[in-house]
Amino acid sequence: MPTLQETSPRTGMTNYPRDEFDRVPEFSNRSGSHRENGWAAAASVGGARSGLRWLMVFGALALVVGLFSFMVLPKLMGTSNDPAPVAASSSASTKASEEPTVDSSADSSETPSESSTESESMDSDSTEPSDTTGSSDESQSSSPGQSDFPEDVDPTMTMGVYNGSNIGGVAGTARTTLLDAGYSNVVASDWTKKVTYSTVYYRSETYRATAEAAAKELGLTSIMQSADIPGNIAIVLGNTYQ
């Protein structure tokens, strides 16, 4: 059913029936709904701008403090930020002072070494004849008559002289005779039993010539090969040995 419109005789405006939108309190702090988001956006934009402003202020202060500490503070403290030229000059002076020292030390070290080498060579030349003479005298005194031995006789071979007689000191006397003849390795001892005749024993043909030469030096004629002897040559003296 259509709503009837009434016209107010006082205002001349059309009167409609009251609905829910007409129930508005007389006093209210509520703003229009279409402006609520606008105020929030304005507030957020204002907060962002204020934060950015403070960030720029802090950045400028930090830059000023850094420049002050880097440029002004070292001058006030009496220090310099550019030590490189000083280090370079000092290193250059150090190198300049070291180079002549190295050359002089090298020259001085080479000169004594050359002189010492020459003196050592002269000393060695002067001492060589005396050393040779001393060694030859020593060899002659230690082994007299070694040059008189045949080539197949070895006077340095170890041989034993054993006393198999009833007379004491026979082995020692024979040992002295062999040493005087030029045999250098002669030992004296007692034989395991008493024997009548003297005999020179050798272990193999390698030692036969040396055994015969030693027997000839002692005046012995009995020479035999035997593997059952101590050492390579064994000279056993009996009661007939004088």
Q: Please say if the pLDDT value at position 157 is more than 80.
A: yes
At 89 the pLDDT is 47
User: Coil, strand, or helix at residue 15?
Assistant: strand
Instruction: Name the band, by pLDDT with cuts 50, 70 and 90, for residue 99.
Output: low
Residue with tokens 């060579």: 121
Instruction: Give CA–CA dist 156/171, Å, rounded.
Output: 19
Summarize the confidence of residues 50-54 as an average pLDDT: 81
> Which one of 49-58, 119-128, 198-207 scores highest in mean pLDDT?
198-207
Give the per-residue pLDDT at 32. 53
Q: What is the pLDDT confidence band of residue 146, given thresholds at 50, 70 and 90?
A: low
The pLDDT value recorded for residue 232 is: 93
167 and 190 in contact (C-beta within 8 Å)? no
3 state SS for 145-167: CHHHCCCCCCCCCCEEEEECCCC
Average predicted confidence (pLDDT) for the chain: 72
The per-residue pLDDT for 104 is 45
Helices 208-218 and 170-181: crossing angle in degrees, nearest 10, is 110
Enter the pTM of the model.
Answer: 0.41
- The pLDDT value given to residue 133: 47
pLDDT tens digits along 167-191: 999 999 999 999 999 999 999 999 9
What percent of the chain has pLDDT above 70? 52
